[in-house]
Amino acid sequence: MWPFSSQPKAFAIDFSDSTLRVLEVRNSSRPLKVNSFLKIGIPEGTIEDGIINNQQVVADILAEKLATAKPRPPRTHRVAAELPESQIFLHHFQLPKELTGEDLETALVEQVNQTMPIELENMAWDFQLLRSSDEGHNILFAAAPAEIVESYEHTLALAGLELVSLEPESLALMRAVIDQKTAAPDELVLLIDIGGRSTSLVFVLNGEIHLSVSCAAGGNLLTERIATGLKIKAEEAEELKISEGLKEKKLLPIVTEVFQPVVDEVAKASAYLQGLIGKKPAMVLLAGGTSQLVGLDQQLQAALGLPVKLAQPPLEMNERTGQLELCTVSGLAMRAVTLHRGINFVEAE
């Protein structure tokens, strides 16, 4: 038994369209020692692009399955979770250094209203002061639709759980795959998180997200295009994708077509950042379940003209397969241990 003082303040749940990933860890330093882990499949359509369509179904699944987590169930009812980038508005602001407290927040709200296409009264929002200098305060602002945030709170409440942390997926991913102690200073890193429905591009410099973009290309679309292109059933296409990947030469033109919008978006975003901060990406880290496609890393490296590496979650686990899909939940679990301050769309004690 742990002493009470070492018990995590929360455990993590990564909500994706087809799977719930549950993780509780004992520590926030690397490597993470796992206390509870569980992967739960959910019915198709229950969650779509971060929107919970059937809250009761998700709640019932969680209430039933949490007790089966290995090697033991989570020891708290408090949960840390995330929203996908497609549901997030993220922006950097720089405000005068003389502003503090309420004056700083008031000025930030004014800037948001002037520059972002959102109505704050309909959003859950938060901000984080990243750093201050003679040039001013550098602030990361994030917002998400309030009704989506409330749906997560209600779903977890139905399962007897309490949502105490809800953050952008990009922050959890960055926390897991970039170790600030060993990261190269002043190097712009591109995180590409390829999921079933979409791909997120997250540009990180010195532990700060400078740009986050979501593209409608992912593993589901790839399976559909393989099935159509090769005139086979979706089940066969999925199996071929998983087992052979780009070793099957017939898949190369299909993979190239599906991910060309991602390559184009990387070029567009990189050019924007080159003009804004004078830097372009030095390397790419791949994460997400679809990034496990055999040969995709080499294909993207050739297309992007950048070194591409497979990200690894900082987990101490015997099971090594499928760990690329555990990056986000690992980042959530790192925060859940202590619930340190950061962007949070829910108000928690």
CATH number of residue 111's parent domain: 3.30.1490
For residues 48 and 17, the answer to whether their CB atoms sit within 8 Å is yes
- Count the domains in the chain: 3
pTM across the whole model: 0.94
Burial class (CB in 10 A: 0-12, 13-18, 19+), 54: middle
Residues 114 and 157 in one domain: no
How would you write the pLDDT of the chain (349 residues) with one tens digit per residue?
A: 333 445 789 999 999 999 999 999 999 999 999 999 999 999 999 999 999 999 999 999 999 999 999 999 999 999 999 999 999 999 999 999 999 999 999 999 999 999 999 999 999 999 999 999 999 999 999 999 999 999 999 999 999 999 999 999 999 999 999 998 889 999 999 999 999 999 999 999 999 999 999 999 999 999 999 999 999 999 999 999 999 999 999 999 999 999 999 999 999 999 999 999 999 999 999 999 999 999 999 999 999 999 999 998 999 876 655 688 999 999 999 999 999 889 999 985 4
Output the six-digit token pair for 320. Answer: 């090594």
Are 227 and 299 members of one domain? yes
Supply the range of the domain harboring residue 266: 182-312
CATH number at residue 150: 3.30.420.40
**Domain check: are 111 and 239 in the same one?**
no
134 lies in the same domain as 188 = no
Q: What is the dihedral of CA 96, 105, 344, 324, to 10 degrees?
A: -20
Residues 205 and 299 in one domain: yes
Q: 74 and 173, same structural domain?
A: yes
For residues 119 and 201, membership in a common domain is answered with no
